[in-house]
Amino acid sequence: MRPLRQGRAIHLLDIENLAGCPQPSTEEVEHVMDAYRRLVLIGPMDQFMVAVNHNALVGVGLAFRGVQLLTRSGPDGADSALSETALADRVDLRFERVVIGSGDGYFADLARWLADHGVQVFVVARPRSLSWRLYAAAREFAYLDPATHEAA
């Protein structure tokens, strides 16, 4: 029997960070996700977990279908929702690879924890927005095409 996590990835997206604004429109999210899909390999068994603040919930929700959508407001609200849910759901047991869609240093501890549990960690960030803490915690990185954010 094939292990549960083999060949599976989960994409943890701090969509506000990827879009570069706290309340991205549906169009901005779709634009970012087009660039994301060109950059990141997405397998047929991959899952998505997306977090936003309550003010962005409708616009972001309209851009996504079939994802786990989390909402939490306040400083680092979306970040903490993603990290806490990933830990509570034990993504390390179910996924071979975790893609963190954010350059926020808040995810450094999660990236280290995942790597310590044998999970491949891949970070996608906007150019010049990858924090040093997250850079030091993960091994693989990619930057969204700067043209992605010209329309934002």
What local confidence, expressed as pLDDT, does residue 85 receive? 97
Average pLDDT, the chain: 91
CA distance readout (Å), 74 to 17, 60, 90, 114: 14, 17, 25, 25
pTM equals 0.91
pLDDT, tens digit (0-9, with 9 covering 90-100), for 20-72: 999 999 999 999 999 999 999 999 999 999 999 999 999 899 999 889 999 99
What are the chain's domains? 9-149 (3.40.50.1010)
Amino acid 145: pLDDT:
79
- Closest to 92 (Cα-Cα) out of 14, 1, 8: 8
pLDDT at 136: 94
